Amino acid sequence: MMIDNVYDMEEYLLNMLVCPQSGGKLEYCKKTNELICKTSGLAYPIKNNIPIMLINRARKINGENN
Q: Is residue 1 part of a domain?
A: no
Q: What is the pLDDT of residues 29-46, one digit of tens each?
A: 999 999 999 999 999 999
Q: Is residue 19 part of a domain?
A: yes
Q: What is the CATH number of the domain that holds 43?
A: 2.20.25.10
Q: Is residue 65 part of a domain?
A: no
Residue 28 has pLDDT above 70, yes or no: yes
Please count the structural domains in the chain. 1
Residue 6 has pLDDT above 60, yes or no: no
Distance CA 35, CA 23 (A): 13
Mean pLDDT of the chain: 86
Q: Is residue 66 part of a domain?
A: no
**Structural domain of residue 31, as residue ranges?**
6-60
Q: Is residue 25 part of a domain?
A: yes
